[in-house]
Structures are given as C-alpha cells and as structure tokens.
Amino acid sequence: MKRCLMILALCASLFNACVIDSSETSNYKFLDEAVANEVDDRFVFPLAMAETALLIDAYEGMTPEEKVGMGYIFRNLIKTGDGKYKMREFYSMTLDTMGKSMDEPDAQWVIEAAPMYGDRIGKGHFLLSEGEADNSYRLVCEYEGYQAYEILFRVVEDEDAYFSWEVEMECRYTTEEGREVTMITDGPVVRKVYRKNSDDGDCNVMMLGNVTVDIKDHDVVRHHFDGGVRKNSRYDF
C-alpha cells in the first residue's frame, strides 16, 4: 500500500496526471496516462506543428479554390509579414520562415506554439530544417526551463497519406523536482496523416511504434502506438 501511494505521488508531481497501462518494470500501473501526456506534449505536438508549417508553405502556392479546401489553414492563417504567419485559435502558433523555402540551403523555420494544456509544459520553441538524408527533416524542440532535444523524421512513400513519416526522437530532461527523465523511440515510429475525403469526413492519423520513458530510479514505461486509424485531434484539412 505504501509503495502504491508513493507511485501515485510520483505520478502527480512528475506529470500532473495519471493513467493505467503496462509498465514493464512496475507492478503498479498508474503511470500510463501521465506518460501519454508527456509523449503527446514532447513528441506528437511538435510533429503536428511542423506539419502545419509545411502545410502553410504549400498553402501559399495554391489557387483560391484549393485554399478553401485546406480547412484549418484557410480558417486561421494570418500573414503578418514576409514569410511570417500566425494562426488564430490554433495553439497560439506563429511561423517565421526567414524568407526561405525549406529546400533552400541553410533554411531554418522558427515555430512557436503552446499545447492545449500549456500549464503542463509551457510554450514550445521549434526550429525546423532539412535533415542530412534525402526527404528528411530535423526539428529542434525546446520548452522554457527544459533541455533542447531533436526529432528526426523522413518521408516514407504512401500514395494514400498526405504525410507519411518514420520518426525518431531522444529527449532528456529534468523535472522541477529534480527527477531525470529519458524519452526515446524504440526504433522509428510510423506516422501517417490522411486528408478528409468529403466535407463531412474526418482528417485521420495513424501512428505505430513505441516510445520508452525512463524515470531514473523510479520506473520505466513503454507508450505504445497501436497502428489504429483515428480522427486527427490536432487539425483537420
């Protein structure tokens, strides 16, 4: 009972939330929702913001008719300057392309955005650039008060998906309580985003793979993306 209460306290102080799923090293399964929140904030959310930046770039080259079909981009995008944008009612997101297309040498886009529950982690600062391999990207992520880390993702061909990636990440940070946390993908995680195919349809997303969260001297939890196709909770187009 005392061990159980200690884990609950850890869960609350470390992530401000709790869930039930499979921890590989603990008999007490209270950490999964907390870990799911952390994975969402530090892994899924930055990817969705990078995808939005790429969609904004594509949007600028579209016809007026095509722009209407871009859903949340059409509804929320405001151009504030040369290569500078903000999104109304969309995670307080701003984008500065520095006047460069992503395929130009040394291009680096600056993205700022805050997850829905910003009090959990705060505003994110993201730098998007091309990766070293063909059709790949490098996203440097930093939340105020935490160490910066990288997400690397590359295109995987899929004619049915608008975005199709293999994604890798290694993130290390120390909580306010001094606990050291490592979050790492177990091999590439596959992510696919599908456009909605009708006015009343859904934009869907599929993710497949695992992210392991190691809370030093406390627990190791594996967050599993099961490959199911679900409604995209971040954006629609």
**CA distances, 5 to each of 14, 24, 32, 133, 234 (Å):** 14, 19, 16, 47, 34
The pLDDT tens digits of the residues spanning 117-152 come to: 656 788 999 999 999 988 999 999 999 989 999 999
For residue 139, being part of any structural domain is answered with yes
pTM of the model: 0.87
- CA 145 to chain CA centroid, Å, is 18
**Radius of gyration for the chain, computed over Cα atoms and rounded to the nearest angstrom:** 19
Query: Which residues constitute the domain of residue 89?
Result: 32-231
> What is the total count of domains within the chain?
1
For residue 19, being part of any structural domain is answered with no
- Sorted by sequence, the CB contacts under 8 Å of residue 208 that are 6+ apart come out as 189, 190, 225, 226, 227
What is the rounded average pLDDT of the residues 72-96?
Answer: 97
Q: Are 188 and 167 in contact (CB under 8 A)?
A: yes
For residue 8, being part of any structural domain is answered with no
Q: How confident is the model at residue 185 (pLDDT cuts 50, 70, 90)?
A: very high
For residue 189, being part of any structural domain is answered with yes
For residue 23, being part of any structural domain is answered with no
Alpha-carbon dihedral angle through residues 38, 41, 44, 50, given to the nearest 10 degrees: -150
For residue 15, being part of any structural domain is answered with no
Q: Which of 43-47, 77-81, 183-187, 214-218 has the lowest mean pLDDT?
A: 214-218
For residue 73, being part of any structural domain is answered with yes
pLDDT at site 12: 43
- Sorted by sequence, the CB contacts under 8 Å of residue 204 that are 6+ apart come out as 193, 194, 196, 229, 230, 231, 232
Bridge-partner residues for 166, per DSSP?
A: 154, 190
For residue 100, being part of any structural domain is answered with yes
Q: How far apart are CA 10 and CA 179, in angstroms?
A: 10
- Sorted by sequence, the CB contacts under 8 Å of residue 174 that are 6+ apart come out as 146, 147, 180, 181
Kindly report the number of other CB atoms within 10 A of residue 91's CB atom. Answer: 20
The pLDDT tens digits of the residues spanning 8-65 come to: 444 444 443 333 234 444 444 557 788 899 999 999 999 999 999 999 999 999 999 9
